[in-house]
Chain A
């Protein structure tokens, strides 16, 4: 029975059951009723996913520590980092906005990467990490509320608006966020449910 169940897949969007056949690397399986994506053929292994995650973590940490934008107004320069922008909002009395920005642009992406590292390192070594099920559930949540890509485009937009006011220069943090945004898309395309396929 369990073998038979493993070869079934239920569409997450409409609930229709399908028999699952392994897919060619670039192909996509869609629900026959609602046309939602049921699954993708796997391009990468756990090792390649892990290497992408490590790269993204390193760049994200650098991006957090460096300036996103620098504004030069008649010789007086002001620059801001991502955590700096959040704390500036907090000090200005907009605590709710500060918390929301912290969750969506800082905590969710940090969980997105940190939990993946915690799960992928043992999986790559052939072991099951402790609390694996809870980690995958939290990763679903982190993926949902991670908006680092929106923040990056927002920073680009602010740069354009600032440049009409004074000398605005993109900092290394902005380039870092741009790279993180692309890496996140790559990591996310692998999906989360397939992590469970490693567990047999």
Chain B
């Protein structure tokens, strides 16, 4: 494990540096230098762009915590109808039957497909709950407990960044079932109202993940004011 072979820390006497998110070029943080080091938190009217690719450079994502909270709260609210309302309605020999998200998992479990029901449980229940919980925790601690378990919080963020889109699994399953089972009144599948709510939860938690700036984990909001 030559883990740190390519990256050696540089001395801290360098000016504040920004890495371009698009091309990776490192630039001096001109605006922070002008504001005397206090520019990272203050409102910015000027925008610095990467000198190589023109991508906008931010010391921190603008309004990061506010946008994260907005998406997390919206996702948490929509998570209720996503679980309570039916995600699909099956028609079999003229009989309509509603299925909820959890109901589908229990059905799979009852049929003996334990492996599958665990996969669906992780993708549809565990991942969205984890994302809402972790993002709430990250947004709260970045303001109120900035020094608390920084490395673990950074790893949690990377975890939800990596697994976030897998909760779309159930949406695709319903889409494919509804598209395939089309035998008129004999057998059919219709998407239920929970599908839209659940898809919105997935998209909102992904937007919240991208709105949150993991660099905030390493900031000290109290030290910045006195500096």
Contact = CB atoms under 8 A, between A and B. Distances in A.
Interface of A: 5-6, 8-24, 27-36, 38-39, 41, 68-69, 71, 73, 76, 78-80, 84-86, 88-89, 92, 94, 96-97, 100-101, 104-105, 132-133, 136-137, 140, 144-145, 147, 150-151, 153-155, 157-158, 160-162, 164-166, 192-194, 196
Contacts of A155: 172, 176
A150 B122 CA distance: 13
Contacts of A33: 9, 218
A13 B199 CA distance: 27
Contacts of A104: 165, 168
B151 interface: yes
Interface string B162-199: 00011011111101111111110011001100011001
B158 A69 contact: no
Interface stretch (B23-31, B77-85, B137-145): B23-31
Given A23-B6, A27-B5, A14 B214 contact: yes
Contacts, number: 221
A9 B180 contact: no
Interface residues of B, number: 67
A15 B175 contact: no
Candidate in A69, A79, A147 with the most chain B CB atoms within 10 angstroms: A147
A33 to B, nearest CB: 7
B181 A154 contact: no
